[in-house]
């Protein structure tokens, strides 16, 4: 990772392994502050190409300088995740950002049924984003409607799952790998999968492993990048 002043100003793509409970903005702010301090800069453009929820870990692409102009292009790339769906309980946010609000039976669920239902979630599907999301409607973020208790209609969006496989079925947990298009909410995938099994579900773990050709195996945590920068 080239962190020289020239490279940072000209435009650098930083492969960041976002830690658990960090927001994407916290990762951006930490690196912006570290770069500005290192090179005594008053201003520096820094932005990320695709939000990761606080409870998700993994690959976050952060752009500096002129590379920020390519953010929308990078956001359009295919993404890959590993994670865990927990059956038998749902939450308003479809993950553990909010508390479990409903419990459901899972005694009727078999591995054969899981693999049959999974086929309905391959290829192009209609998906409803979670109400606890940053999508804007009528000038407000959906999560603002959710937090105020105000109801609003959410429109379905077409997304594509290029691959969706279970690496381990250990009820009530389903460990999965998914490759998907821009705009896919893995939280919604977990929620919808539970409903399709006549039960409920939420996303209990998520890690982004790839964005296009970029891999989390090549990424560093914000702290590791800061340490590398201090050593220059």
Using pLDDT thresholds of 50, 70 and 90, give the confidence band for residue 144: confident
Residue 195 reports pLDDT greater than 90: yes
Residue 143 reports pLDDT greater than 90: no
Asked if 53 is an active-site residue, the reply is yes
What's the pLDDT tens digit per position in 59-98? 999 999 999 999 999 999 999 999 999 999 999 999 999 9
User: 79-211 domain in CATH 3.60.10.10?
Assistant: no
φ, ψ (nearest 5 deg) of residue 54: -55, -35
Radius of gyration, CA atoms only, the chain: 19
Residue 23 reports pLDDT greater than 70: yes
pLDDT attached to residue 58: 98
Residue 148 reports pLDDT greater than 80: no
Full-prediction pTM beyond 0.95? no
Residue 214 reports pLDDT greater than 70: yes
Is it true that 5-75+217-230 and 79-211 share their CATH fold?
yes
Give me the catalytic one of 53, 126, 170, 223: 53
3-class SS shares of the chain: helix, strand, coil, % to 5: 30, 35, 35
Residue 41 reports pLDDT greater than 70: yes
pLDDT attached to residue 146: 59
Rounded to an integer, the average pLDDT of 38-43 is 95
pLDDT attached to residue 35: 96
Distance, CA of 60 to CA of 82 (rounded, Å): 15
pLDDT attached to residue 17: 98
Preceding omega of 172 cis (within 30 degrees of 0): yes
> Domain segments of the chain: what residues?
5-75+217-230, 79-211
Q: Domain spanning 5-75+217-230 has what CATH number? A: 3.30.2350.10
Does residue 206 sit in helix, strand or coil?
A: strand
pLDDT attached to residue 134: 66
**Helices of type H across the chain:** 5-10, 24-39, 71-75, 111-118, 142-148, 186-196, 222-230
Distance, CA of 192 to CA of 127 (rounded, Å): 8
In the block, which residue shows the tokens 């994670």?
83
């Amino acid at each position: 990772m080239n962190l020289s002043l020239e490279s940072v100003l000209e435009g650098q793509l930083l492969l960041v392994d976002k830690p658990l409970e960090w927001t994407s903005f916290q990762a951006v702010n930490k690196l912006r502050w570290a770069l500005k301090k290192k090179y005594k800069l008053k201003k520096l453009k820094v932005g990320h190409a695709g939000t990761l929820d606080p409870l998700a870990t993994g690959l976050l692409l952060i752009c500096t300088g002129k590379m920020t102009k390519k953010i929308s292009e990078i956001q359009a790339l295919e993404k890959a995740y590993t994670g865990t769906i927990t059956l038998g309980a749902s939450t308003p946010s479809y993950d553990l950002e909010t508390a479990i609000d409903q419990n459901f039976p899972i005694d009727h669920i078999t591995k054969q049924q899981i693999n049959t239902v999974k086929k309905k979630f391959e290829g192009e599907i209609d998906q409803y984003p979670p109400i606890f999301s940053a999508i804007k409607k009528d000038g407000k973020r959906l999560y603002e409607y959710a937090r105020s208790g105000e109801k609003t209609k959410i429109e379905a969006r077409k997304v594509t799952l290029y691959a969706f496989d279970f690496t381990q079925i250990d009820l009530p947990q389903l460990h999965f790998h998914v490759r998907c298009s821009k705009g896919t909410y893995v939280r919604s995938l977990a929620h919808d999968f539970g409903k399709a099994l006549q039960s409920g579900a939420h996303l209990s773990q998520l890690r982004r492993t790839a964005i296009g050709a970029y891999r989390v195996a090549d990424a560093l945590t914000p702290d590791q990048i800061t340490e590398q920068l201090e050593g220059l």
